[in-house]
Amino acid sequence: MLKSADHFHDGPLTDAEVRRIRNDFPILDQEVNGKPLVYLDSGATSQKPISVMEAEQEFYEQRNSAVHRGAHTLAVAATDVFEDARATVAAFIGAAENELVWTANATAGLNLIAYSFGNASVGAVSEEARQFAVGSGDEVLVTEMEHHANLVPWQELCRRTGAGLKFIPIMEDGTLDMEAAAALFTDRTKVFAFTHVSNVTGVINPVVELTRMAHDVGALVVLDACQSAPHLALDVKALDVDFAVFSGHKMLAPTGIGALYGRAALLDAMPPFLTGGSMITTVTMDAAGYLPSPQRFEAGTQAISQAAAFATAVNYLSETGMDRVHEWEAALGQRMVAGLEAIPGIRVLGPSAGTARAGLAAFEVDGVHAHDVGQYLDAAGVAVRVGHHCAQPLHRRLGLSASTRASTYLYNTTGEVDAFLAAVAGVRPYFGITGA
Amino acid sequence: MSALDSLYQQIILEQAKARTGADLPNNQLSGEDLPAGTGQCHQLNPVCGDEITLRLETEGTGTEKKISGIHWAGDGCSISMASASILSEQIVGLGAEEFQAMIGNFREVMRSRGKLEADEEVLGDAAALSGVSKFPARVKCAMLAWVAAEDALGQTA
């Protein structure tokens, strides 16, 4: 049976409660290089609670079978698990069941959208699919803070179709230049794809305002919710976006499963990307008809056990309370940024302490390359990400090729943030760099 | 010595700052119109953004071929920069075949996961980089300049 954790209370999370949460994550209880592990790389991938691992195992031990086919009992049980999981994850973001498509991850979701738009842009296209077409004279708008996953697929779409690619620049503090944005939305804008939360600066974009600006010019809105769905209460209907994507592995679920949200009317009109089994109605030697969403976009055997475990993961988050998770991480993030700002030679990317931001901090250490920073922190047991975090244009804009990023989740304690800060303070002295 | 200290030996931290050979002018990064006997190679580690453009000059041909000059421009972690610097200090005057053998030996040590002892007779100061081999994620950093030099040498054939 799925474990019912004992840590679900009202009011803000506390260190005592987080210590109980940590009991559900056995991987966190270990030493690395002789030091207690301080895992601050959840922005890359999160750790998994026991209940999630058990959900996947339970599926294989008791229900494993192909879904949506076969008349036998196991096939029905597996289909129920698969579709119940869809309902759970859909509800988690405020969507209807038929509006949630399983994907491998957010990258796969973004490519699905971009390739489907591409399929609507070339060759014989149905009347209902024309709304997704882009071509010469049209523009796809992104932002300068995008992860490569929400940039390169659009570059490719533009290359294939002749559409132009524009971007909203960022300000020095990492936030979007809203004045520039206002001028970039024109009647040429057909698609606006942007991230909810920056994976580097922690900037939380004003989704409602941006979406309204895009809709005012008739553009379709694609939200990269990869760094928001795991960390704050997400309601796609309230945000009014047309599409949204996120990855399971960043929110306590296994790798190999993610989700794409799309308005039902849009998904049912959009040409499919991957075609083949499980997504068709009638197939002749010449042509095929396609099922409505979500099956329309789920060709081939899906990641069934992972979907089951994804549902367990979002239940874990829901029961803990997404508002509480967000508040806790925001507090950890503020503690981190304020602490980093107090260390000589450290420059935090993005908004300074006291300003709203997600529970992560990317920073530059004057005189020490990010790779060396990460190596030093690893020796202190602290796991962080180094490099460009799949956001080269953002780093280039901030005058860097790489940075070090520490990212929190609901299982991190204030003590861990302090251990991280103490380790960072040792970096420049170790490498013989002095001065502020 | 801790694993970290064996990775960041004093000589490596010093070489990372010294950057011997880092004098390739910005306007020559494209590597166009190189004279005979000269090769140039750009290497990028997309994981961390470490980058180097390295030019190798040679004299003579066949078994008589010698390295006569090395110039590079680059940016990266202390391991990649120290490695390029040590390489630059050591290889001028070496025979091309001798250098090729040195690259082979260095690569073998780097890929050994700490199992092979570096031979200072063969590698000179580059032996100090042997601590890198215990950190598989950093081997590419140490190899960056060497891979560029190997490619540049190949162009001089």
CB contact under 8 A, B138 and A376: no
pLDDT per residue as tens digits for the range A140-176: 999 999 999 999 999 999 999 999 999 999 999 999 9
Establish whether A158 is a catalytic residue.
no
Give chain A's mean pLDDT.
95
CB contact under 8 A, B76 and A369: yes
For residue A416, pLDDT beyond 80: yes
pLDDT per residue as tens digits for the range B104-149: 999 999 999 988 888 888 898 999 999 999 999 999 999 999 999 9
Of B99 and A11, which is predicted with more confidence? B99
Stretch A269-275: mean pLDDT: 97
Lowest mean pLDDT among A86-100, A182-196, A238-252, B100-114: B100-114
**Confidence at residue B122, expressed as pLDDT on a 0 to 100 scale:** 87
Contact A120, A271 (CB under 8 A): yes
The CATH topology of domain B3-29+39-155 is Sufe protein. Chain: A (3.90.1010)
Q: Which of A371, A306, A309, A365 is closest to A341 using CA atoms? A: A365
User: Which positions ≥6 away from A39 have C-beta within 8 Å?
Assistant: A27, A28, A47, A383, A411, A412
Q: In what order do the strands lie in the sheet with A346-348?
A: A346-348, A360-365, A403-407, A385-387
Contact A193, A140 (CB under 8 A): yes
Chain B residues touching residue A379 (CB < 8 angstroms): 2-4
Q: What is the pairing mode between strands A288-290 and A280-283?
A: antiparallel
Stretch A366-385: mean pLDDT: 97
Q: How far apart are the C-alpha atoms of B118 and A237, rounded to whole Å?
A: 62
pLDDT per residue as tens digits for the range B53-92: 999 999 999 899 999 999 999 999 999 999 999 999 999 9
**Confidence at residue A1, expressed as pLDDT on a 0 to 100 scale:** 35
Categorise residue A403: left if φ over 0, alpha if ψ from -120 to 50, beta otherwise. Answer: beta
Give A270→chain B minimum CA distance, Å: 35
Catalytic residue among A234, A303, A384, A390: A390
**A431 touches B at CB < 8 Å:** yes
Chain A residues touching residue B135 (CB < 8 angstroms): 375
CB atoms within 10 A of CB A266: 18
For residue B74, give the chain A residue with the closest CA: A401
Give chain B's mean pLDDT.
93
Chain A residues touching residue B76 (CB < 8 angstroms): 369, 371
Q: How far apart are the C-alpha atoms of A125 and A166, rounded to whole Å?
A: 26
CA A270 and chain centroid, separation: 23
**Where do the structural domains in chain B lie, given as residue ranges?**
3-29+39-155
- Give B48-77 as a 3 state SS string: CCEEEEEEEEEECCHHHCEEEEEEEEEECC
For residue B45, pLDDT beyond 80: yes
pLDDT per residue as tens digits for the range A5-45: 454 556 789 999 999 999 999 999 999 999 999 999 999 99
Type of residue numbered A267? L
**A34 touches B at CB < 8 Å:** no
For residue A4, pLDDT beyond 50: no
User: Which positions ≥6 away from B61 have C-beta within 8 Å?
Assistant: none
pLDDT per residue as tens digits for the range A181-223: 999 999 999 999 999 999 999 999 999 999 999 999 999 999 9
CA A393 and chain centroid, separation: 19
Q: List C-alpha distances in Å: B69 to B24, B44, B82, B146.
A: 11, 22, 18, 14
Q: Which of A291, A253, A259 is closest to A94 using CA atoms? A: A259
**Confidence at residue A378, expressed as pLDDT on a 0 to 100 scale:** 97
Q: Which of B148, B150, B151, B111 is closest to B132 using CA atoms? A: B111
**Confidence at residue A8, expressed as pLDDT on a 0 to 100 scale:** 54
Partner residue opposite B48 with nearest CB, options A379, A387, A431: A387
ipTM: 0.92
For residue A2, pLDDT beyond 90: no
Chain A residues touching residue B13 (CB < 8 angstroms): 431-432
Quote the tokens at residue B145. Answer: 């300049």
Domains and CATH numbers, chain A: 15-47+321-430 (3.90.1150.10), 56-318 (3.40.640.10)
**A152 touches B at CB < 8 Å:** no
Q: How far apart are the C-alpha atoms of B148 and A433, rounded to whole Å?
A: 29
Quote the tokens at residue A205. Answer: 């974009």
Taking one residue from A and the other from B, the number of pairs with CB-CB distance under 8 angstroms is 45
